[in-house]
Every structure is written in structure tokens, then in C-alpha cells.
Amino acid sequence: MIGRYEIVVAAHFDAAHRLPGYSGPCSRLHGHRWEVEAAVTGPQPGAEGMVVDFLVLKRILGEIVEAFDHRCLNEVEPFTEISPTSENLAGYLYQEFVTRVAGLGVGIEVCWVSVSESPDTKVVYRGGTWR
């Protein structure tokens, strides 16, 4: 069996949010430095020795999270309609990453996207259609 590689890139953004309908302190406006990681899997490296260029993946992820930087997530689509929880953010970012990674190369697939709103928490969304 030929192995596959998992390539991981990271980005971050600073944003505020509040969780409507939540009865704890997160119902009030507060901010985080959101850390995002995204992973793709691919076959053996090509002639250049890479499955996919890190710079390409970092650019894609950076373009996606840029829309949230220094914003209130509750005011940015789709979070004007759904709660901007880490879970929903991870699902949305996964969907956007899948859309933009399509066409990078044969056999390259998105594995997962993770979102951390603090150093000791993380949500990982894997596969499937979000929402």
C-alpha cells in the first residue's frame, strides 16, 4: 500500500463574538485570538518533492479567515443567522477550504479544519457537508 501525506497549515485572526441564547458569560460580547488549522491529504510527492505547496495552502486559508479579522462575528455572514460558536466556525471554514482547495491536484483532499478560541480548547471538523 502506498502511503499518503497529511499537510497542515495554520492562520489566526482576532475577532469578537457573543453567543445568543447561551446562559453563561459568553452571551456577552467578548473577543479571542482565533487559531485555525487546516489539513489536506495527498499521494506521494511529485517530481518537485511536494504534495502541495505550503504557501498555496496558507494563502487560501489566510484569504478565508481575513473576512473575520478585527470584526464582530455576529455581524459577518453566515453568523448573522447562526450562532458564531467554535463548532459552527469550524464547519464553515471547512466548507470554504474544501471549495477553494478543489482543483489543486489529483488526490488532494481536505481532512479537517480546527478552530481554537483559547490555548486549552479546540474544535475539529472532519469531512461531510456542513449544514
Could you check whether the bond before residue 20 is cis, i.e. omega within 30 degrees of 0? no
Q: Please indicate whether residue 117 is annotated as part of the active site.
A: yes
Which residue in 35, 37, 96, 117 is the catalytic one?
A: 117
**What confidence score (pLDDT) does residue 27 get?**
96
Mean pLDDT of all residues belonging to the chain: 93
For the domain made up of 5-126, the CATH class stated in words is alpha beta
Residues 21/83, Cβ–Cβ less than 8 Å:
yes
d(CA 41, CA 52) in angstroms, rounded, equals 9
Residue 95: what pLDDT? 96
Q: Which one is catalytic: 6, 63, 66, 70?
A: 70
- Count of CB atoms within 10 A of residue 54's CB? 12
pTM: 0.94
Domain ranges of the chain: 5-126
Is 77 annotated in the active site?
no
Catalytic site includes residue 70: yes
Task: Over range 108-114, report the average pLDDT.
Answer: 95
Of 26, 72, 87, 111, which residue is the catalytic one? 26
18-63 pLDDT per residue, tens: 999 999 999 999 999 999 999 999 887 877 888 899 999 999 999 9
Q: Which residue has the higher pLDDT, 108 or 37?
A: 37
pLDDT interval class at 1 (50, 70, 90): low
